[in-house]
Amino acid sequence: MNTTTDPNLKSWIESANAPECDFPIQNLPYGLFSRSGDDTRRIGIAIGDRVLDCRALVELGHLDGHCSPEARCALSSHRLNEFLGLGREEWRAVRERVSSLLRSDMPESLKDSADQHDACLVAQADVTLHLPMEIGDYTDFYASLHHATNVGSMFRPDNPLLPNWKNLPVGYHGRSSSVVVSGTPMVRPSGQTVSADGEETSFGPVRLLDYELEVTFVVGPGNPMGRRIPIEEAREHLFGLMLMNDWSARDVQKWEYQPLGPFNAKNFGTTLSPWIVTLDALEPFMVPGPRRGEDDPTNLDYLTWADDFGVDLNLTVEISSEGMREQGIDPTLVSRGNYADMYWTMSQMLAHHTSTGCPLRPGDIYASGTVSGETEDSRGCLLERTWRGQHPITLGDGTERKFLQDGDEVIINGWCEREGARRIGFGACSGVVAPALEPVAT
Ligand code: MN
């Protein structure tokens, strides 16, 4: 039984008990941080407005007798990959121990010794956050029926959904080299596009820059080449979830995508939120996997699991222009969605990805694809939200947007709340669009 999500738990770190806090004791998400003036990267766990330093915790002996030597070693690393590789039992042992160390009713030296307190806890305001793991491979799926239907109907009005779509989770292999942590500016890329009549090609800064609201999944132990991960074992291989902005150049995409799918339209940058919210923390918010429509094809066995699940995860996208930030105007809410609306589940995507024997390694990620719901305000990218620019949205400063302009900040937030559970949040995934640069040879 998972007692770490008990809504009655309180922490002796007071900021964690504030009702709107993203990081109460029930959450305990993992990140990677460095302290100001020190480049060393350390694994941390967010609690209230603090970060718990895992290496300090190990060095002070707080995990002795509770977690394996391998787990203690992995938590002292400069990246999360080794810990991800250890698997679910080790993850849970650490979570249970950390939860009890931070609990208000557990008298522990960590709480009472000022020295230990200072060694193990640092203010989030005083740290720099990095991507928690080195990402070997990144795959992006296309799992929302609403998104696939909307986008398909713009390009193929008579035939929006291709015949494969309800039979397998469609995806493409993305670029891990350009995945960055929240807060990193996103430089407007340049690319090749074609004129509306299809007559003339040109190269220059892209004009139709977009965001995509997505959720990404962090892989744990993974599989050796030639072995697949059965769908029933998905939980053993999935460590947690992050928020993602899959920045997209629509004018480039439109010209290049046939016949092999997106390439330069997607490879210039992808932003992740800094914290990984674990599946153990998300347990109270799990919902049954989506029901298929009556006319939908039956899933093949390798994509079928009676206990499959989604997550009731609320998602928002806000945009703030440079002018709005200067004038102190709040960001404008432009999309509001829920991850539970997706057609394909994270377990199905994992089983399908590895069904050929393709190995996944600790720290690999794969993403959901744009999260769009049925209603207009739940469409997860500007392409859909403005219907290719036909219906611009108005920001808080009165300016209109069909697509993103330089200086625009895109802010994605996610949180889970439910009757009988403590609300938990993900922390923002944000980035500001910077003006295009002339690429320089290196
Ligand atoms: Mn995408």
Pair type for strands 190-194 and 309-311: unpaired
Task: Name residue 166's amino acid.
Answer: K
pLDDT at 159: 87
420 C-alpha to ligand 1 centroid (Å) = 33
Location of each CATH 3.90.850.10 domain in the chain: 138-434
346 C-alpha to ligand 1 centroid (Å) = 15
Location of each CATH 2.30.30.230 domain in the chain: 3-130
Closest CA to 373 of 123, 198, 150: 150
368 C-alpha to ligand 1 centroid (Å) = 8
Residue pair 151/385 in contact (Cβ under 8 Å)? The answer is no
- Evaluated on CA atoms 141, 146, 147, 152, the torsion sign reads positive
Task: Name residue 2's amino acid.
Answer: N
Active site residue 147: yes
DSSP E strand stretches across 246-390: 248-249, 270-272, 277-278, 286-288, 309-311, 314-320, 332-338, 365-367
Q: How far apart are CA 339 and CA 333, in angstroms?
A: 17
pLDDT at 122: 96
246 C-alpha to ligand 1 centroid (Å) = 5
Q: How far apart are CA 343 and CA 291, in angstroms?
A: 8
Candidate list 62, 146, 147, 237, residue with the active-site label: 147
* CATH superfamily entry for domain 3-130: Fumarylacetoacetase, N-terminal domain (2.30.30.230)
How far, in Å, are 245, 386, 395 from residue 400 at the CA level? Answer: 21, 10, 6
Q: How far apart are CA 374 and CA 378, in angstroms?
A: 7
pLDDT at 206: 97
The structure tokens listed for 134 are 């080195």
Neighbours of 139 (CB within 10 A): 20
Per-residue pLDDT of the chain (442 residues; tens, 9 = 90+): 789 999 999 999 999 999 999 999 999 999 999 998 899 999 999 999 999 999 999 999 999 999 999 999 999 999 999 999 999 999 999 999 999 999 998 766 687 787 888 889 999 999 999 999 999 999 999 999 999 999 999 888 888 999 999 999 999 999 999 999 999 999 999 999 999 999 999 999 999 999 999 999 999 999 999 999 999 999 999 999 999 999 999 999 999 998 999 999 999 999 999 999 999 999 999 999 998 889 999 999 999 999 999 999 999 999 999 999 999 999 999 999 999 989 999 999 999 999 999 999 999 999 999 999 999 999 999 999 999 999 999 999 999 999 999 999 999 999 999 999 999 999 999 999 999 987 666 6
Residue pair 406/188 in contact (Cβ under 8 Å)? The answer is yes
115 C-alpha to ligand 1 centroid (Å) = 46
3-state DSSP call for residue 424? strand
Q: Is the peptide bond before 259 cis (omega within 30 degrees of 0)?
A: yes
Neighbours of 33 (CB within 10 A): 21
Residue pair 33/437 in contact (Cβ under 8 Å)? The answer is no
278 C-alpha to ligand 1 centroid (Å) = 22
Surrounding residues of ion ligand 1, Cβ less than 5 A: 140, 212, 246
> What letter does residue 176 receive in the DSSP assignment?
S
Among 3.30.70.100, 3.40.50.620, 3.90.850.10, 3.10.180.10, what is the CATH number of 138-434? 3.90.850.10
Strand partners, 244: 214, 272
Q: How far apart are the first and last CA of the chain?
A: 54
432 C-alpha to ligand 1 centroid (Å) = 18
